Amino acid sequence: MKIITVNVNGIRAAEKKGFFEWLKKENADVVCLQEIKAQEDQLDERFYPKEYHCYYHPAEKKGYSGTAIFSKKKPNKIIKKTNWETIDFEGRLIQADFDDLSVVSIYVHSGSAKQERQDIKMAFLTQRFMPYLKQLKADGKKVILCGDVNIVHQKRDIKNFTGNKNRSGCLPEERAYLDELFNQIGFIDAFRAVNQEDHQYTWWSNRGQAWANNTGWRIDYQILTPNLQGTVKNTRIYKEERFSDHAPLIMEYQL
C-alpha cells in the first residue's frame, strides 16, 4: 500500500504547477492533502482524478485551511465531523475507513502568527488529540495519521535548531509532546522507522534562500498506531518538482 501526504498550500496553485500529472505517475493507493484553500464549488473535474474516489473537507472560511483524501478503493466510510470546534470549522481533518484500517488526513494548527493561535494549537493537541490517540491504541484500531503536524520532533529534523528552538513548531513543549507520543505511548513515526538520516526536511520557508540552502523543517508525518509496527517498507521525500512550500512524503507499507 502506497500513501502520499502533502500540504499543497492551495490545491489550485498546486494544480497549475503540475501536481495532478505527477500524482497520476506516482499511482498511490491513498493521497492525503492539507491546506487545500478551496471550496468544492471552486473545483472542476481536474480536481477529481478519475482513478480516485475524491473527498474534500474545506474550511468554512474561503481560501483557508481544509483537507482532502483521494483513494483508489472506495472507503466504507468517510468522517469529517469530530466535534472539535476549531478542527471542524477550519476543515482540518478527514478520515477514510477501509475494513480494519483507517487513514486520516490532518492539518494541525500553526502557532506562528500569534500567541492566541499557539494556545489553540496546544489546547487541541493536549486536551483533544492526545486522549483521542490513547483511545485509538486502547481500542486496538489500525490507523495511519497523515499530515502537516507543524512540529519538528528532534534537532536533526530542523536545519537551524538553535535559532528556532523558541519558535512555534520547535518549542520544547511541542517536541516533548512528540516524545510522549512516540517514546512512551508507542505510536510510530513511519519515516523514522526506515530512514535515520539527517537533513530530511518536508517544508522550507519562502523567505531568503531556504530551499536553495536546504534550510528546512520536517513537520509532515505519517504516524502509525503501535499495532502497525513493522509494516513500513520504504519512504522518500519527493523534491524533484515543487508543488508548494512542502514536499510530498511518500510511504510504502506491507499491510
User: What's the rounded mean pLDDT across residues 19-23?
Assistant: 98
Tens of pLDDT, residues 28-75: 999 999 999 999 999 999 999 999 999 999 999 999 999 999 999 999
Grid cell in block for residue 61: 472560511
Tell me how far apart the alpha carbons of residues 185 and 245 are, in angstroms, rounded to a whole number: 31
The domains of the chain, with CATH numbers, are: 2-253 (3.60.10.10)
Q: Is the pLDDT of residue 208 over 90?
A: no
Q: Which three cell numbers stand for residue 169?
A: 513548531
For residue 149, CA distances in Å to 53, 75, 177, 202 come to 25, 24, 11, 11
What count of other Cβ atoms lies within 10 Å of the Cβ of residue 95?
22
SS3 74: coil
DSSP string, 158-197: BS-HHHHTTSTTS-HHHHHHHHIIIIII--EEHHHHH---
> Is 100 annotated as catalytic?
no
Structure-block grid coordinates of residue 121:
494549537
Given the residues 29, 148, 189, 220, the one annotated as active site: 148
Answer whether 99's CB lies under 8 Å from 71's CB: no
Interval 165-180: pLDDT, tens: 999 999 999 999 999 9
User: Over the stretch 122-171, which tens digit does the pLDDT of each residue have?
Assistant: 999 999 999 999 999 999 999 999 999 999 999 999 999 999 999 999 99
Residues in a beta bridge with 195? none
Tell me the mean pLDDT in the region 70-96.
Answer: 96
Q: What is d(CA 193, CA 159) in angstroms, rounded to the nearest whole number?
A: 21
Three-state DSSP at 10 gives coil
What's phi and psi for 156, nearest 5 deg?
Answer: -70, -10
pLDDT at 212 over 90: yes
HEC string of 102-164 equals: EEEEEECCCCCCCHHHHHHHHHHHHHHHHHHHHHHHHHCCEEEEEEECCCCCCHHHECCHHHH
Q: What is the 3-state secondary structure (H, E, C) of 79-110?
A: ECCCCCHHHHHCCCEEEEEECCEEEEEEECCC
251: β partners: 3, 235
